[in-house]
Amino acid sequence: MSKENKIKSENKGSFKSKKLRYGGYSAVVSFILIAILIVVNLVVSELNLTFDLTPNSIFSISDTTETLLENNEDPITVYALYEAGGEDETIMNILKDYEKASNYINVQSIDPVLNPNFVEQYKTGPDEMIQTGSLIVVNENAPTRFRVVSPYDMYAYNQYTQQQTLDAEQAITSAIDYVIKEELPMVYVVSGHNESSLSYSLTEQLKSQNYESKEVNLLTDEIEAAEDNIIVINSPKLDLTEDETVKVTEYMEAGGRAIIFVDFNTPDMPNFNSILKRYGLAVDSGVIVEGDKSHMMGYYANILLPNLESHDITDGLAANDLNVVIPQAAAIRELDQKKSQTDVTPLLTTTKDAYLKADPNSQTVEMEEGDVPGPFNVAVAVTEDNYNDIENTTLTSKLVVVSTSAIMEDSLIASTGNLDFLINGANWLSDQEDSISILPKSEMLERLVLDQTQALLYAGFFIILLPLIVIVYGISVWLRRRHL
Amino acid sequence: MLAIFNKELKSYFKSPIAYGFIAFFLVMFGFYFFMINIFYSEPDYTYVLANITTILLLGVPLLTMRLLSEEKRMKTDQLILTAPINTSGYVLGKFLAALTLFIIPTVITFLHPLALSTFGTLPWAKIIGAYFGMILLGATFISIGLYISALTENQVVSAIATFAVFMLMLYIDNFKQIAPADVTSSVIFLAILIIAIGAFIYNSTKNKIVAGLISVLGLASIAVGYFIKPTIYEGIIVNFLDWFSLINRYSSGFYMGILDFSTVVYYISFTTIFVFLTIQVVEKRRWS
């Protein structure tokens, strides 16, 4: 037995051995250090000290969102559906800023592949797909209030600049706004007169703007006149009954809001027309043909690109150079006789070269005898202030009339300002102008400007020359030292 | 410490390692700089910095392999250990020398964004943040390499072991995806961890009673937790692995343009622990 082993065997089990003293001390100190550092790390990560260094502050939430979060006291969970390791870091970093801004926001990653049942409970229909990369925003106080934000809602692609922009904050903040709102503005879609239902795109957009929509029958359903509720009368083909007419008028006079779509080819409907007349409007028979080539879509003289008149609804469109496309328009005429408190403002107008074709079946687009020359209104906004003596309050009624129901067609909405026009209209009607609107951010930076000579010069210097100097110097040192 | 630092840095520049490392670093970054920034006129230089992972993976084992193992093999460490300098100064000097060698080419590559700035506007805050994170990440990798080098006598073994550990670090986020999250696996994992700690204690103290007692206590507390509330063990493996995902913290933080103070503290803590453990390993040689 060697000496070393002897000492070892003597020391085995002894609490006085050198090994135990030094080794034990070293182990204890190591564990204490690790424990302290773990605690320090946990404390620091609670402080949430992060700084956004990106040029467009893409990970920082705007004041609009911060104000919304400050006023919220409902616990909200944002479930991020990503396969483990496949997170979209941009979105996750933005969500971190939400968590930082409010103690009531909690972000949780869920792997949809491992937890298929979790996703299942948030499907609203059997055909609905909730794809990986979506966020589910849930109000924990009322778990039935949730909103699924798809990845397509968070990234927008601008066809003109060919740039992808980040729209995540708009999507996430509206979703939060939706789940914490106790009552959403209602859109009552009137039915029972062969009206067409609202188009898919419009319905979806209303939903994402936090409107709840509901089909109503004026005879049987209660409709509540509140300043953020809107009734939609989408081009009825049968006239309203007198009772219905009274109900609509009463609704309007109680401070109601309405949007009415009319079409040029509908039969004469005295009751329906009386509602328009009540607000100083009439629809003339015939279809509008535009004579100014710069205000029609291609060669189609009956598809108008009307002028945007100045109004809260249209100003945003004009600022972004968006066109509203109006096919097959009827002409909306402002009557000379109307109540003094009724105020009619045109929103969309044709040029003076437009004319109203009295015979819609005419074979020519040229102006014929009997055609009425323009300009015409193709969309108008009406406000009326009714002073209530008893309650000493003023009730404001608001009405938008659009001269074609085709404005909301899915095929038109994709590439034009029509959807924005309708949503702006709904927001103006329901006094939601200050509703959430956050500009998308671009992740792209302005390109550098350099020519080929400069490029080659830099490449030569940085890829070849600089490393070469290091290598040559290294070899010279090595050669010199080899002979030492 | 300063004497060790100077000696070590000089010895780097007497061997081909330093020049090889710097040239490799510059060629690699230069190539991506050309492909991304010059060729595509991209002003964001952080895209180039993303390639630091390759440099760390291949370069750092070269920097650290001979730091402590070589002196151990040559027995020159005995000279130093008996000299009147303390172990922490000795280890820290070596660590700082390796870190300096890492920082030198890093600083040289800063010429790339400087050159770019004459052609347009650069996202400076993001670039400087990414550089800062890169140096911190480099420090953590060097500290791991330093620790491994202290454990072996052979440079090649040290380099290969370091490389293997770095590869594990690189794939740790992939392991996280397949790591089981259920209670049973977590309990087994914790039990293995406790036994490993017990083995470590036995290794450093050679005392069966203490090591055994700590292991039994640890296992008992796991069992108690299991019977009271088994759900606390859910996902513990993933959380544990999370503590070691060095690269992910860089790529989802600094690289994206976010300066997260907790990541800074994390990298510094990680480096501190490994430098400290290295000091313990060297110290052990003094008394055993």
Whether the pLDDT of residue A461 is over 50: the answer is yes
Q: For position A1, what pLDDT does the model report?
A: 40
Chain Cα centroid distance, residue B193: 21
pLDDT band at B51 (very low <50, low <70, confident <90, very high): confident
pLDDT band at A46 (very low <50, low <70, confident <90, very high): confident
Compute the average pLDDT of residues A162-175: 81
Residue A465 forms contact with B (CB below 8 Å): no
Compute the average pLDDT of residues B139-168: 92
Q: For position B267, what pLDDT does the model report?
A: 96
Q: For position A17, what pLDDT does the model report?
A: 67
Q: For position A79, what pLDDT does the model report?
A: 93
Q: Among partner residues B31, B177, B276, which is closest to A30 by beta-carbon distance?
A: B276
Compute the average pLDDT of residues B102-108: 95
Whether the pLDDT of residue A2 is over 60: the answer is no
Report the distance separating Cα B241 and Cα A265, nearest Å: 69
pLDDT band at B137 (very low <50, low <70, confident <90, very high): very high
Residue A453 forms contact with B (CB below 8 Å): no
**Which structure tokens are listed for B150?**
């202290």
Q: For position B265, what pLDDT does the model report?
A: 95
Q: For position A468, what pLDDT does the model report?
A: 92
Q: For position A320, what pLDDT does the model report?
A: 73
Tell me which of A35-39, A114-118, A170-174 is least confident: A114-118
Compute the average pLDDT of residues A396-411: 89
Mean pLDDT over each residue of chain B, to the nearest integer? 87
Q: Among partner residues A11, A30, A466, which is closest to B280 by beta-carbon distance?
A: A30
pLDDT band at A174 (very low <50, low <70, confident <90, very high): confident
Tell me which of A171-175, A315-319, A381-385, B30-34 is least confident: A315-319
Top residue of A458, A477, A483 to mutate, by most chain B CBs within 10 Å, is: A458
Q: For position A233, what pLDDT does the model report?
A: 92
Q: B229 or B111: which carries more pLDDT confidence? A: B111
Q: For position B110, what pLDDT does the model report?
A: 93
Long-range contacts of B124-128 (CB under 8 A, 24+ apart): B125/A53, B125/A54, B125/A55, B125/B257, B126/A53, B126/A54, B126/A55, B126/B44, B126/B46, B126/B257, B127/B44, B127/B45, B127/B46, B127/B49, B128/A53
pLDDT band at A435 (very low <50, low <70, confident <90, very high): low
Ranges A66-80, A118-132, A200-214, A360-374, most confident: A66-80
Q: Among partner residues A11, A84, A474, which is closest to B16 by beta-carbon distance?
A: A474
Do residue B23 and residue A471 have CB atoms under 8 angstroms apart? Answer: yes
* Chain A residues touching residue B49 (CB < 8 angstroms): none
Tally Cβ neighbours within 10 Å of residue A210. 18
Residue pointed to by tokens 């059997």: A126
Residues within 8 A of B (CB atoms), A 60-89 only = 83-85, 87, 89
Tell me which of A281-295, B67-81, B117-131 is least confident: B67-81
SS3 per-residue string spanning chain B: CHHHHHHHHHHHHHCHHHHHHHHHHHHHHHHHHHHHHHCCCCCCCHHHHCCHHHHHHHHHHHHHCCCCHHHHHHCHHHHHHHCCCCHHHHHHHHHHHHHHHHHHHHHHHCHHHHHHHHHCCCCHHHHHHHHHHHHHHHHHHHHHHHHHHHHCCCHHHHHHHHHHHHHHHHHHHHHHHHCCCCHHHHHHHHHHHHHHHHHHHHHHHCCHHHHHHHHHHHHHHHHHHHHHCHHHHCCHHHHHHHCCCHHHHHHCCHHHCEEEHHHHHHHHHHHHHHHHHHHHHHHHHHHC
Top residue of B48, B197, B280, B283 to mutate, by most chain A CBs within 10 Å, is: B280
Residue A52 forms contact with B (CB below 8 Å): yes
pLDDT band at B113 (very low <50, low <70, confident <90, very high): very high
Whether the pTM exceeds 0.90: the reply is no
Residues within 8 A of A (CB atoms), B 207-246 only = 207-210, 238
pLDDT band at A136 (very low <50, low <70, confident <90, very high): very high
* Chain A residues touching residue B39 (CB < 8 angstroms): 455
Do residue A44 and residue B265 have CB atoms under 8 angstroms apart? Answer: yes
Whether the pLDDT of residue A6 is over 50: the answer is no
Residue B37 forms contact with A (CB below 8 Å): yes
Q: For position A19, what pLDDT does the model report?
A: 66
Whether the pLDDT of residue A167 is over 70: the answer is yes
Whether the pLDDT of residue A38 is over 80: the answer is yes
Q: Among partner residues B112, B120, B238, which is closest to A448 by beta-carbon distance?
A: B120
Q: B275 or B177: which carries more pLDDT confidence? A: B275
pLDDT band at B27 (very low <50, low <70, confident <90, very high): very high
Q: For position A469, what pLDDT does the model report?
A: 92
Compute the average pLDDT of residues B230-255: 82
Compute the average pLDDT of residues A18-27: 73
Q: For position B211, what pLDDT does the model report?
A: 84
Do residue A40 and residue B269 have CB atoms under 8 angstroms apart? Answer: yes
pLDDT band at A4 (very low <50, low <70, confident <90, very high): very low
Compute the average pLDDT of residues A424-429: 87
Within A301-448, residue ranges assigned H as helices are 312-319, 410-413, 418-429
Residue B285 forms contact with A (CB below 8 Å): no
